[in-house]
Chain A
Amino acid sequence: MLGFLARRLALAAGTVAAVVILTFTLVHLAPGTPMLGDPERTLVSPETIARQRALFGLDRPLPAQLARYARNLLTGELGESFTLHRPVARVLADALPNTLLLGGTALLLALVLGLAVGALQALRHPSLWDTALSAASLVLYSVPLFWLGLLLLLVFGQELRWLPISGMSDPTLRETLSPLGRALDVARHLVLPAATLGLVQGAAFARFQRSALIESLGAEFVRAARAKGLPERLVVLRHALRHALAPTITLAGLSIPYLLAGSVLVESVFGWPGLGRVAYDAILSRDYNVVTACALVTGILVAFGNLAADVGIAAADPRVRLEQ
């Protein structure tokens, strides 16, 4: 187990380093220039911009910039944002917890929803329920995130006014609330963005879970369990469902990039101040240091997600040996 973890961590470190170098190079080679001022809003003279470029070392050759970035990175220094005038580490420290909260909640919601709906469909297969839920999950899975977010926002935020539309907290009430009140306020603001991400991902989980459980329920070991006279509840929960979890766990691990990418859209629609928005704005304004740091963090999260999925599968299915 430890050997497996060490190998995978070494592999992950190599992958993340490659992602960082590739991102740094690509973003510098991309057409455009760091937006050190908005000339359509404030007249910033080209001379001013040239001075700013020199200040950030952007006038040096690309290999020199990369070498400097790598040196800084090894000492834990992520540089400064050109556009936000802040250390990149602080920009990420502000945004990352929000994205983890949103993505984590959405993943949890998707797992609960996907497992429950998938299991219900498999146990009722074939039936009208199964058909109806299959159709519903297919529709949800096909819906563009952006569109679903706007739809939920219009219905539950603007029309029914049940839930807040944007941000993480009420700007005027926040200071008057107790710590518990603030937590509940954040939870209320979390509902719509997490539901948007979680519903789409949950639909995918449900489809996989349904297929896997149907297959498990017809497998030899399930028939043997039934033949032993085990109650049906135990047959399903202890044998069939446990075996059928592997595809969903794998998918959950692989869904981390999807959740991070989806958070770009969802965070924009709901004004959620997370990493996705930071990365999106940084790409548009060619804020190289922030883009590269976002790639670094995303790479680490994805590597961690895959590793966690492998460990999870081994825990769910004793036939899987991590050393293999």
Chain B
Amino acid sequence: MVIATTGDADVLLPPVTTTTLGSNVADRIFCRLAELTLDLNTVDDSGFRPVLARSWEHRDSTTMVFHLDPRARWEDGAPVTAADVAFTFAVYRDPAVNAPLAPNLAAIDSVTAPDSATAVFRFRRWYPEQLYDATYHMRILPKHLLDTIPRARLASSEFGRHPVGDGPYRFVDWQAGTQITLAADSSWFLGRPHIARLAWRIIPDLQAAVSALLAGEADAMELIPSRNQLERVQDDPEIRLVPYASPFYAGIVFNLRRPPFSDREVRRAIAMVLDRGTIVQSVFGRFADVAAGATSPMQWIWSDSVRQLPLDTAAAAKALAARGWRLAQGRPVRIRAGVPLRFTLLVPTSSQVRQQAAVIVQDELRRLGVEMRIQPVEFTVMERRTVGGDFDAAFVSRTIDPSPASLLQFWGAGESNIGRYASPAFDSLAAAASRARSRAEAGPLWRRALEQLNEDAPAVFVFSPRNNAAVGLQLENVSIRPDDWLATVSEWRVRAASDRGRERAAGR
């Protein structure tokens, strides 16, 4: 199967890769102890299936024990052992490695290996997502191949470009900027994948990538972030679109350090005047949803019933007037004490859809007497300015984890909360939700936390795209897990009568 993709990988080593392709490839080579099932239930243990760990148990409230599957082997034949698990934890947590996901492991105190088949995780406290944290953020690494490499050099080591793993696919070849190829491991302990080869073809231009798909040079594509290109694919009789819940949402984040957004009522007024349904319809057609809040349809807490501020221009105008922002006769912009109600919105030049949406937002705010200047900036500039607090408002996009705890990463205390939103009410709800023992108990609490965010309006959550993977009709048994679209690829099949011939060419 040839997969068209628009960006190359940085490195094929799970702790340090930061690119989409790097993760997509490395995730096929390296396994987790357990995997989430398709419904992405992160709260209790029922949402997981065994992979490297054959079983697990909670020894007490802060200790989990994993029993490894004795059949699991590294590509070189060495068994996967508990020492590998302990080594992996040490690598992820080592500041010299600088693993982006290391903060997600903060609640794990230690990982030990009392024997080769048993890994013991000790947590700093009890919480319901212990299994999720123990398994989701780490892919197990081969200690016997990596422990001689200085940790600070892991990312640039040869292993990162020629990885040896324990997963359903083995690394074959990486031609920088062109393609990466993996081959199915015929002896994989959980069963040989049905598709013999996976080849990612790197085509930076989206239109050209879609053309490669339409011309039969590629068999699949993760997502197509453009309405025009989606419509091209939709008309092709040899390709189908497989919809799946999106892990993204995008919204306008306000900088609460600065006026006028330090004033909650101003933020609420702006949120109430934006007709997000119209924005989404204009920019995406039917390929996106209005965001329910700081979540995406991928997370189990997503619900259309999450309460949001109403669309009410009159109430918004009244609220602004009550705060002293008044429209003088014949003036287009509200003024208070001689200061006009205006701000600048940073939009990344890399996102055409956010630039289009920003123009509609600008028009809607103008009607309220708010002047919004749009400043398109390169992504790196936007990153520097938002992290440094040098912005009024920024149109950002976030890819979130399956766990609702990601809400705390972006809106709780910490540097990633770029607008510096702070609310004891939100923190308290999120903390209670994090401690809830089941989805039934946690769901309402998380939704109330979302509603608190919507009420306080530290951001206007505008859209969440409806993702569609494009796959050739010759591919069967295709299911997609939203956080990792190829998570189930070892179960995909190629129809025997396929005329595209790639499987034959790959030696099947």
Instruction: Identify the A interface with B (CB < 8 A).
Output: 31-49, 51-52, 55, 80, 83-87, 91, 94-95, 150, 153-154, 157-158, 161, 164-169, 171-173, 176, 267-271, 273-274, 277-278, 281, 284-286
Contact = CB atoms under 8 A, between A and B. Distances in A.
A274 B178 CA distance: 9
A48 B18 CA distance: 12
B48 to A, nearest CB: 22
B314 interface: no
B214 A171 contact: no
B174 to A, nearest CB: 10
A55 B414 contact: no
B217 interface: yes
A37 B176 contact: no
Contacts of B350: 284
The B interface is mostly helix, strand or loop, or mixed, namely mixed
Interface string B293-322: 000000000000000000000000000000
A86 B13 CA distance: 13
A169 B177 CA distance: 12
A285 B382 CA distance: 12
B179 to A, nearest CB: 5
B103 A45 contact: yes
Interface stretch (B202-210, B419-427, B451-459, B471-479): B202-210
Nearest to A267: B204
A31 B381 contact: yes
A41 B384 CA distance: 16
Interface in B205-223: 205, 207-209, 211-212, 214-217
A268 B379 CA distance: 19
Contacts of B95: 51
A83 B10 CA distance: 6
Interface string B170-208: 000001111101000000000000000101011111011
Q: Nearest 5 A-B pairs (CB), nearest first?
A: A273-B177, A32-B380, A171-B199, A271-B203, A46-B415
Given A31-B381, A44-B100, 16 more contacts: A31-B378, A32-B381, A37-B18, A38-B18, A41-B18, A41-B19, A43-B100, A45-B415, A48-B102, A48-B103, A85-B16, A85-B156, A87-B156, A153-B211, A166-B212, A271-B212
A235 to B, nearest CB: 48
A273 B175 contact: yes
B383 interface: yes
Interface stretch (B71-79, B355-363, B392-400): B392-400
A33 B505 contact: no
A55 B152 contact: yes
Interface residues of B, number: 67
A24 B366 CA distance: 42
Given A35-B383, A42-B18, A94 B197 contact: no
Interface of B: 2, 4, 8, 10-11, 16, 18-20, 23, 95, 98-103, 152, 155-156, 160-161, 175-179, 181, 197, 199, 201-205, 207-209, 211-212, 214-217, 350, 377-381, 383-384, 387, 396-399, 406, 409-410, 414-416, 502, 505-507
A263 B397 CA distance: 31
Nearest to B157: A85
A278 B205 CA distance: 14
Contacts of B100: 37, 42-45, 48
Contacts of A48: 98-100, 102-103
29 contacts: A39-B383, A40-B398, A40-B399, A43-B100, A44-B18, A45-B100, A46-B416, A84-B10, A86-B156, A86-B161, A91-B176, A94-B177, A153-B208, A157-B212, A161-B215, A165-B211, A165-B215, A167-B201, A167-B202, A168-B178, A171-B199, A171-B201, A176-B505, A268-B204, A271-B178, A271-B208, A273-B176, A278-B177, A286-B380
Contacts of B181: 171
A157 B203 CA distance: 14
A169 B415 CA distance: 45
B379 A35 contact: yes
Contacts of A34: 380
Contacts of A268: 204-205, 208
Contacts of A84: 10-11, 176
Contacts of A269: 205, 208
Contacts of A44: 18, 100
Contact of B19 (A33, A38, A45, A153): A38
Contacts of A166: 4, 201, 203, 208-209, 212, 217
B379 A271 contact: no
A133 B345 CA distance: 50
A164 B20 CA distance: 25
Nearest to B100: A44
A83 B384 CA distance: 16
Given A45-B414, A95-B176, A171-B201, A31 B384 contact: yes
A150 B208 contact: yes
A222 B381 CA distance: 61
A47 B383 contact: no
A251 B91 CA distance: 56
